[in-house]
Amino acid sequence: MEKQATKIHAALLASPGIGHLVPVLELGKRLVAQLDFQVTIFVVGAEASVLESQLQSFPNPNIFNVVSLPPVDISGLVDPNTSIVTKIIVMMRETIPSLRSEIFSLKLRPTVLIVDLFGTEALPLADEFNMLKYVLIASNAWFLAATIYFPTVDGKEEDEHMLQQKPLMISGCKPVRYEDTLEAFLDKNDELYAEYLRIGLEIPTADGILVNTWEDLEAETLASLRDDKLLGRVTRLPIYTIGPLVREMKSPDLESPVLNWLDKQPAESVIYVSFGSGGTLSAKQIAELAWGLELSKQRFIWVIRPPVENDVTAAYFSVGKESDGTPNYLPEGFLTRNSKLGLVIPDWAPQAEILRHPSVGGILSHCGWNSTTESIVNGVPMVAWPLYAEQKMNATMLTEDIGVAIRSKKLPCERTVERKEIEMLVRGVMVEKEGDKIRSRVKELKSSAEKALSRGGSSYNSLSRVAEDCEKSLQGLVEKAYGA
């Protein structure tokens, strides 16, 4: 084993999808800026244009080395109709040989490997190359708790949750209600069930777990994860709270039509509507959402995609022109009637800049953890509209535990939310007294997050402890290798 260089070299592995890429890039930036690590980020399944657009948000995109791993063809390995999560897991598995080759070819070998949730099968590479190994949970501590606890439950508990629809009781944590549970917990015969159990068992084989949360946000869950009498008996690892990992605002673009429009609106008067990088709605739900926004009489920015029925993921943005250019999946004349109140933007918008703008007073969100933390750090109250994955758990946390959101009485992913209810939700967060209370609470959490990230704050100190623990462990490996 070669003697270690002064600067720790961390290799980070990002799963496919912007939602997975963003927190890995932000973590890489912090490792460089705060800890003076050398960082190499390996990216799976990202198109060059997507990767370039994300790196453009960095003041210095050359602060770390980014390697796009060769694309893999999984068409013969999975059923075309299988879940997107299963496809991501298989892609990550098939990428391991390329990752091994790339690490081997680096002039300065990494001393630390950090993988995200779907990259845990790459952890053995750390042993091959005498590296420390960490898992990044880009979501929250409650999601981590459910993930590592589920493989330990007995058959009776499983059946009570899956078949009898009873809450999943987790030591020292809030139970997971059946209606909020993860898809992997629903069917033992589904391939995702086995994959998720494996991930839950592999996470505790690491040297530590980095979680995209902060101490004040989830104190009770974090205490359980660290208590040997509670979930700590499962984790058996250091838990580092390093969040929130959120994108910083780019330099203001004076030519941006979205930001220029926002500049002309009153303070906190606009609700931003977005379902993340992958969320889609049915044609009927899009129409009801359009009517709900119109009936609310509130200013809005809506990032919209063409409708997708029955969770089909392949869709192109095709517009059927009406007299005013309204897409044929929106109510006729919608754009004309709302031309002064709202903007409809196809596919993508600069979310970080929008949420930070003083004219934005709310967000209707799918509750992905990236969008959730971006909303909190900008003090923006939420209408929770979960669609898939852990978003239902997030929505419950946001509404019932920390009080920064309101939500529909029933899950939008299981039925069509009608226009009158949407009108009520939008007005509730934007102009009613309920919204004032939520706005006050989210601004408290904004201050809490800022304090956690500042020098001497809980997340700042936690990331510093990662460096300290790495240095101690790496020194131990050197001494062992040289017989010191």
Q: Count Cβ atoms within 10 A of the Cβ of residue 68 and give its class: 0-12 exposed, 13-18 middle, 19 or more buried.
A: middle
Q: Which residue has the tokens 């898992």?
A: 135
Give me the catalytic one of 20, 161, 357, 366.
Answer: 20
Q: From 201, 278, 209, select the one nearest 238 (Cα to Cα).
A: 209
Q: Cα(367)–Cα(387) distance, rounded to whole angstroms?
A: 8
In angstroms, how far is the first alpha carbon of the chain from the final one?
Answer: 13
Does 116 qualify as catalytic in the annotation?
yes
Q: From 377, 52, 387, 99, select the one nearest 213 (Cα to Cα).
A: 377
Q: Which residue has the tokens 């980014």?
A: 66
Q: Which residue has the tokens 């974090």?
A: 222
Q: Cα(93)–Cα(195) distance, rounded to whole angstroms?
A: 11
**Token duo for residue 405:** 């959101």
Give me the catalytic one of 9, 116, 161, 366.
Answer: 116
The three-state (H, E, C) secondary structure of 168-202, written as one string: ECCCCCCCECHHHCCHHHCCCCCHHHHHHHHHHHH
- How many angstroms separate the Cα of 111 from the Cα of each of 67, 167, 274, 471? 17, 41, 39, 10
Beta bridge partners of 346: 304
Q: Is 434 helix (H, G, I), strand (E, B) or coil?
A: helix
- How many angstroms separate the Cα of 407 from the Cα of each of 150, 275, 277? 27, 14, 21
456: left (phi over 0), alpha (psi -120 to 50) or beta: left
CB atoms within 10 A of CB 347: 10
Give the active site residues.
20, 116
